[in-house]
Structure formats: C-alpha cells, structure tokens
C-alpha cells in the first residue's frame, strides 16, 4: 500500500468516479421507472460481466472475496438503493444520504481492520450523524421514510464492500478492472432470485418483453460507466490507500447528484434538508481535512 498522501493522478481518477456516480442516481430513477429494482440489478451486473469477462483473466484472488464483494457492494448496496428510489426517494437526497457510507466504513475499519480514529474523524462523525438525523426527521417532506431507511441500509452495505476491497488489495499488484468484471458475475443470480421471490415471474416477464431504448440505455450506463469504470477505479484506490482516506472523497458525489436531480427531475430541497445536508457535508469535510487543521491548532498552542 502506498502512503496516505493521494497522488495527483489518483485524485483525478477519484473526481472522474464522482461525476459517474453522481449522474448514476438519476439514471437509476430512469431505470426503475420501467424495470423493477431487483431485475434491474440482475440486468446491470449481467451486462457488466458479459461479454467483458471473456477478455480478462480472473485475478488470483480467493473465491470467498469475489463472493463477499459481489454480495455486499453489488447485491446488498443496490438491492437497497434501487428499492429506495423505486419507492420514491428523490435522487438528489439519495446521493446525499448514501455518503454516510464514509462513516460506516470508518466504523467497520476500526472493528475489523483495527484502524484508529482521530479526533477530527470523531468530530466529523458527530456532525454527520446530526445531519442524517435532521434529514430523517424530514420524512414525508418530499421523501418517504422507507426510502430514507433503505438508502441508509445501502450505504452500510457499500461500507462492508469497502472493507472487502481492502482485503482484495492484499493481492496487489492486480488488474482492478478484471476483478470488478469477474466479481460482477456474482450478483445476477442472487438478484434474479430476489426478483422472482419479491417481484414475481409475471412482472419479470412483462418488464423484459417491454424494454425500451431508454431502459436499455440506463442499464448500459449502470453496467459500463457506474460499475466497470466507477468501481474499477474505486477498487484501485481502496486497494492502494487507507479506507479512511479514500471513502470521504464520495462527499462530492451529492454535488453532482443534487444538481442532476434538480436539472432533470426538478427536485428541490426543503430548509430542513439543507440544514441536514450542510451538517452531513461539514462532517465529511472535517473528517477529510480536519487532521491537518487540528495539528496546526495544537502546534500554535
């Protein structure tokens, strides 16, 4: 693993992921308008895996890590997130609340990876928790409570996937894109099983027969841009740097997500959403940049 300082090239890659994932929330809303959430997940990862896996050799990573990655960061995260947007969670707010994954990642990394928390990270956690609390209290104001809770659950699964990614990083050097491609072969069957159980064969058949060009474009974006490009780069970054250095970069995703939701769907935030979002983003900023500030303050005193 490299030092905690992130190189300029890797910073540029992180910004590319931010744009891809910020737009991703609006694309999900387009997708679930015609395709039920679990079936959409199956189509997304089937297209991400095939035919791409024919062109990549599977990295020498234990099978259990492929399974763990696929079931957490892919099935777990997107089963909840797709369902959240399907039940009415605004895309902009979803992009904001999902960034709580940074703090779930810190929590899980402290438990499983023994990474130590700094004072700025604890302060950031308190601010972000207060922000999420305000947003949660605003359910019913352009946001269903179920959508909020499902988005939180998706963020927790994303964080679990981040921890798995750190374990995958032990097998570097490796082709991160090849790993994401082969790991994408895991989710289709679980998603199809969920779709069969909860959405039903009639709904599945009807959705597949009536796929529109808009739906196909949404699936293609989710598969190739959000999954292969986005998670290929994210896996690379998470495997090279400490989890508590990479995860906070996702704080910029809501800037793209909120803007896209406003421009495409006319979504807007209420004052309580602004207050909660400000606290959440401030917490992420303190987590990311607070260490150097705290060090300067201690040095001056």
Nearest to 21 by CA among 277, 253, 269: 253
Check residue 254 and give its pLDDT.
83
Structure tokens at 205: 């058949």
* Under 8 Å between Cβ of 169 and 53: no
> 146: exposed, middle or buried (C-beta count within 10 Å: 0-12, 13-18, 19+)?
middle
* Under 8 Å between Cβ of 30 and 44: no
pTM: 0.86
Q: What does the DSSP 8-state code read for residue 221?
A: I
Check residue 102 and give its pLDDT.
79
HSE value, Cβ hemisphere, 13 Å, CA-based, for 278: 7
Rounded-to-integer distance, Cα 99 and Cα 108, Å: 15
Nearest to 194 by CA among 181, 204, 184, 185: 204
Check residue 243 and give its pLDDT.
65
Q: Where are the alpha helices (DSSP H) in the chain?
A: 8-32, 37-49, 63-69, 77-86, 91-97, 101-108, 119-137, 145-168, 176-183, 188-194, 201-209, 213-220, 232-240, 243-246, 253-265, 271-300
Check residue 260 and give its pLDDT.
92
Check residue 171 and give its pLDDT.
84
The distance from CA 218 to its chain's CA centroid, rounded to whole angstroms, is: 17
Who's near 271: CB < 8 A, 6+ residues apart?
A: none
Identify the segments of the chain with pLDDT beneath 50: none
């Amino acid at each position: 693993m490299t030092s905690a300082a992130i190189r300029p090239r890797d910073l540029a890659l992180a910004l590319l992921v931010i744009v891809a994932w910020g737009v991703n929330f609006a694309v999900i809303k387009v997708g679930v308008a015609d395709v039920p959430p679990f079936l959409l997940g199956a189509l997304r990862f089937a297209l991400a895996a095939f035919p791409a896996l024919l062109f990549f050799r599977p990295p020498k990573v234990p099978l259990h890590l492929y399974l763990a990655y696929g079931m957490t960061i892919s099935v777990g995260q997107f089963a909840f997130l797709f369902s959240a947007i399907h039940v009415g969670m605004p895309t902009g707010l979803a992009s904001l609340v999902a960034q709580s994954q940074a703090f779930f990642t810190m929590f899980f990394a402290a438990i499983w990876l023994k990474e130590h928390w700094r004072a700025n990270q604890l302060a950031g956690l308190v601010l972000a928790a207060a922000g999420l609390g305000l947003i949660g209290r605003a359910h019913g104001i352009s946001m269903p409570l179920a959508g909020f809770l499902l988005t939180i659950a998706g963020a927790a699964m994303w964080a679990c996937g981040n921890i798995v990614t750190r374990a995958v990083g032990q097998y570097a050097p490796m082709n991160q894109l090849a790993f994401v491609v082969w790991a994408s072969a895991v989710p289709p069957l679980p998603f199809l099983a969920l779709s069969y159980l909860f959405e039903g064969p009639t709904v599945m058949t009807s959705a597949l027969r009536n796929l529109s060009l808009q739906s196909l474009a949404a699936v293609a974006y989710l598969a190739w841009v959000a999954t292969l490009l986005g998670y290929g780069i994210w896996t690379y970054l998470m495997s090279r740097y400490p989890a508590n250095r990479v995860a906070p970069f996702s704080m910029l995703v809501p800037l793209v997500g909120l803007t896209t939701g406003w421009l495409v769907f006319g979504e807007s935030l209420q004052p309580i959403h602004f207050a909660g979002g400000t606290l959440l983003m401030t917490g992420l900023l303190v987590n990311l940049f607070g260490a150097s500030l705290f060090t300067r303050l201690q040095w001056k005193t």
